[in-house]
Amino acid sequence: MSTAPIPQPMPELPRSGQKVRWRDPRHARACGWEAVFGPGPFAVVGIVDKSNQGLATGLVLQTRLGDQEIAEVWLALAEEPEAGRGSRGEGAR
């Protein structure tokens, strides 16, 4: 039996006002997050440190449901390439 890899935290946390997007849009669609919160990108409103609980940092984002906290492991800075894409874009092989 194999287990799914544990998502890694963002290399650098965004600041308030920066934009983030789903790290893996296909995963966000499969989980229903895109339908509920929107496709992004989302403006960061705040940061919730959960290190004392052993959890990933929460990012408070402006979503279509209003401000919502989402764990950083599911997000990336809006200007970073999407998961599963090469540096030359989707059509590169």
pLDDT the model gives residue 81:
64
Question: Considering the domain boundaries, does residue 93 fall inside one?
Answer: no
Q: Is residue 92 part of a domain?
A: no
40, amino acid identity: G
- pLDDT single digits (tens) 39-56: 999 999 999 999 899 999
Evaluate whether 60 touches 45 at the Cβ level (below 8 Å): yes
Longest pairwise C-alpha distance within the chain:
43
- In-domain check, residue 32: yes
Amino acid at 36: V
Does residue 84 lie in a domain region? Answer: no
Range of the domain at 49: 19-77
Residue 63: pLDDT band by 50, 70, 90 thresholds?
very high
- Residue at 82 is within a domain: no
- Average pLDDT, integer, range 82-90: 47
Top pLDDT among 11 and 60 is at 60
The count of domains in the chain is 1
Residue 36 lies in a domain: yes
Q: Any alpha helices (H) in 3-71, and if so which ranges?
A: 25-31, 33-37
